[in-house]
Structures are given as structure tokens and as C-alpha cells.
Structure 1
Amino acid sequence: MKSLNFQAAIIDLDGTMVDTLGDFVVVLQHTLNDMGCHPIEIARVNRGFIELTVGKGTEDLLRRSLAHAWGLADDDAEVAAQVPEAWRHYQQHYTRLNGQHAEVFPGVVEGLQKLKAAGLPLACLTNKPTAFAQTLLERKGLRGFFDQVFGGDAFERKKPDPLPLLKTCEALGTLPARTLMVGDSSNDAQAAGAAGCPVVLVTYGYNHGEPIDRVSALAHIARLDELDLAPPISPGR
């Protein structure tokens, strides 16, 4: 891809840097067991289901997982009423298991090294709760690359709303138009477009089971280290 010139980069976590589907499956199955689900219901929440579901925050994931396990609609009142209890169980299990069934994607470490070598400040922006994101990055040896880490509970709204990107640009001290967003889904592309950030999408992520090449982006890359970056421009330009 052609050389890109930016002030900073914002990078998504799940599906972009780390394959966390294994974590989600194990944690959600423990959570459903705690909620009294039958083994057959628990087995419905598998890797294939999670790949279609993950990306819009923990509450959404829990609501959709409960509905799927129980064979109910996502907006069923009974499901909504059980989400707070499910969250309590989920939080306990995720705190214990975070990163144990997850792997860093090939090219991610090299890509982050490349970004830092180009002199770009980096932020991780994810819909995963901030504490979980911080711990995952630390356990996978990635935390040191990032100047800022923001999760889905850091701001009033989550991606695909543009607010998290705008707030992250403020924290980095950079202009949205000169801040690259790297993600794996239409969620990231929609948020970036609304915030005025250029976006590059990786082709190996989740994207709710839809082909990522159908989502408009500056580029689609098979590895994070395929990014070709020019030296950063000054914030005033």
C-alpha cells in the first residue's frame, strides 16, 4: 500500500490485534452455566456465534448470548432483566480468564514496532471494558506500545458512535483528519467516517461475519505490519 502520513494512530483490540474469540466462548459458557442454562443451551454459544456477535460492547454481547441460548429475541424483556446478573458472573470469569484462550495475530507486534519507529503516538480504542483491555494488553506484551488505552466504559457512547474516536484524538492532541484508525469491522469504519478519521481495515478480523472488503476504507491489509507509514506530520498541519 502507498505510504501514509499521519500524526497518530488509534487501533482496535479484539479481532484487530488479538484473537479473543476463545476467551469469549469460555467466559460466556461459564456465565451461562451460572445462570442455570442447560448444557445444550450453553453449547449454542460457540466460536461461530461469537464471531457474528462480538464488537458492540459487553452488555450487547451478554444480551445477545442470553437470547441465543434461550431461543428468545434479542429485545425480549426477560433477557434484558437478566443482563445485570449475567454481567456480575461474566466480570468474575473474565477477570480470571482474560487472555488465557487468546492469541496475538501474526504481524501485530511487528506492525506496532513499525508504527512506533515512525514516531506515531498510539492509542488502543476498544468496546471491551477498559480494565479488561488494559489487562489483556499487559498479558500479551502489547501495553508498552500505547500512550492511551480507552475501553467501552471510558466515554458516554461506544463505537460505532464517533465520540470515542473524537475523545481519543483529544487525548492524543491530534486532528481527526490526521489520525489513522485501524480496525477489523464496519463498527470501526462507521465510527471513523463519522469522526473524520481515515481508516484502514484488517482482513482477518470478525466484522459480524460479513466480508470486510465490502466496507469502504483507505486500505484493506492482511497483516498489521503491511502499513507503510511516512514520518508523522506536525499537529498544526
Structure 2
Amino acid sequence: MDTIYFDLDGTLTDPKPGITRSIQYALQKLDHPTIPTEDELTWCIGPPLRSSFVKMLGDRDADRAVALYRERFSDIGLYENRVYDGIGDVLTTLRASGHRLFVATSKAHVFADRIIDHFGLRQHFERVFGAELDGTRADKSHLLEHALKEVSVDPAKTLMIGDRSHDMVGAKNNGMKGIGVLYGYGSRNELIEAGAQHVCATPGAILDCIS
């Protein structure tokens, strides 16, 4: 593969505390009768945020919930995060081998850019692609379509690496190959059923799947 797109949450970094606590904050502000635990909210890591709130609250309150989530996430939550062990070495090796690397995340790019900079990952990536704050391109298929056009690369020579079904479906819908990672928040069955051609248990295993 010449060009590789990496998901952010659950693939490059573990964002669980920041995301789940910010969801809890939003639900508390909305006086939701039950506040799920952090572990009970891990299913929200990966999919577009608004769609997760729709499942919990219905369409009417979803936009308000997103705004409340961002109140906490923009100042606190995005730093409650850590880079997975071994990711830096993987990115360094891939760049040294001549691959072009990009980030493609359903997270708003204004937050994704801050996370990439905060954790010292900017050197590895040519560009970070993410959603707009209004939800435009939060869908992974739309995001990858945009990212491929912006970089002007052949999808058949391009790879998407991510931890959730949305990453694999987005890749398949754009003629890309997909590699799923199991150290994030998706299961082996979820990834394979969504079209992953390989699944990797550790960051280091990604290198074995890339020619």
C-alpha cells in the first residue's frame, strides 16, 4: 500500500476516559434519569457522536447533548487520552518505508488536530481529516471519499486502519482495503463482518499486514 489512513480513537489513541466522562457530563446536564458507567459507554467510541446520543436520547435532544459534551471535551476530555504503546514505532517504520500517512476520524477535525499535536504525532502525518462541527463528513464513507479526492490517490492502493465497523465499511464503500485492530473498541466479529481483510491484536502486528 502506498497511502494509509489511520482512525484516531481506538486506533492511535485510547480516548475512553475523555469521551465517556464527557458523555456522562452531557447526560447529567440534561437531567437524564440514569447515567451509564464509563465501561457501559465504550460502544460510543468510534461512531459519530450525534448518532450515539440519538440512540440514548432520541433525535430531539441529540444536538443539545453534543453541545454539552463539547463544553467538557474541548477543555478537559480531549487530554484524558493516551497513545497506545507501540504506535509511535509503527508510524516511524511506515514513514521510513515510504508510505504516506493520514488521519481519518469521525471526530471533529478541530479536536483531532489538537490531539495529534498534543501527543506529538504530527510529524508522522501529512494531514488530518475529520468531521466538521456541524456533523458534515462524520460518516466514515463520506469522510474517506473526501480524503481520497483531496490527496488524489488511487483507492485500490490505499488502506484504512481502524477499530470499528464504520472504518471497514467506509473503506469498502470507497474501494479501499481495510485492516481492523483488536486493541481498540471493536470485536473480531464486528470487524470481519464489516469487511476487514486482516485483524491485528497489537499495534506492532499492523506492520506484518502491510506489504
Fold shared, TM-score > 0.5 on shorter chain = yes
Amino acid of the residue matched to residue 166 of structure 1? E
User: Is this contact kept in 2: 1:179–1:198, CA < 8 A?
Assistant: yes
Q: Which residue of 1 aligns with 2:49?
A: 58
Q: Percent identity?
A: 25
Q: CA deviation at 1:111?
A: 0.9
Q: CA deviation at 1:53?
A: 2.8
Q: Which residue of 2 aligns with 1:170?
A: 149
Within 2, Cα distance between the matches of 1:209 and 1:99? 27
User: Is this contact kept in 2: 1:52–1:208, CA < 8 A?
Assistant: no
Q: Which residue of 2 aligns with 1:135?
A: 114
Q: CA deviation at 1:214?
A: 5.0
Runs of 4+ in 1 over 3 A off after TM superposition: 154-160, 208-216
- Of residues 15, 23, 30, the one that matches 1:20 is 15
Q: Which residue of 2 aligns with 1:158?
A: 138
- Once the two structures are superposed, residues 131-185 of structure 1 have per-residue CA deviations (whole angstroms, 9 ceiling, x without a partner) of 1111111122212211111112288443343x32222122222100001111112
Q: Which residue of 2 aligns with 1:95?
A: 74
Q: Which residue of 1 aligns with 2:29?
A: 34
Flag structure 2 segments of 5+ consecutive residues without an equivalent.
Answer: none
Amino acid of the residue matched to residue 32 of structure 1? L
Task: Output the aligned Cα RMSD.
Answer: 2.3
Q: CA deviation at 1:196?
A: 0.7
Q: CA deviation at 1:27?
A: 0.9
**1:215-234 alignment, distance < 5 Å:** 215-226=194-205, 227-228=207-208, 229-230=210-211
Q: CA deviation at 1:220?
A: 1.3
Within 2, Cα distance between the matches of 1:64 and 1:112? 35
**Cα distance, 1:19–1:58 mapped onto 2, change above 3 Å:** same
Within 2, Cα distance between the matches of 1:55 and 1:151? 12
Matched residues, number: 208
User: Is this contact kept in 2: 1:99–1:139, CA < 8 A?
Assistant: no
TM-score, normalised relative to structure 2: 0.87
Name the SS for the 1:36 alignment partner: coil
- Of residues 47, 57, 66, the one that matches 2:38 is 47
Within 2, Cα distance between the matches of 1:208 and 1:225? 18
Q: Which has the larger radius of gyration?
A: 1
Amino acid of the residue matched to residue 158 of structure 1? A
Within 2, Cα distance between the matches of 1:160 and 1:208? 18
Q: Which residue of 2 aligns with 1:234?
A: none
Q: Which residue of 1 aligns with 2:161?
A: 182
Within 2, Cα distance between the matches of 1:12 and 1:160? 10
TM-score, normalised relative to structure 1: 0.78
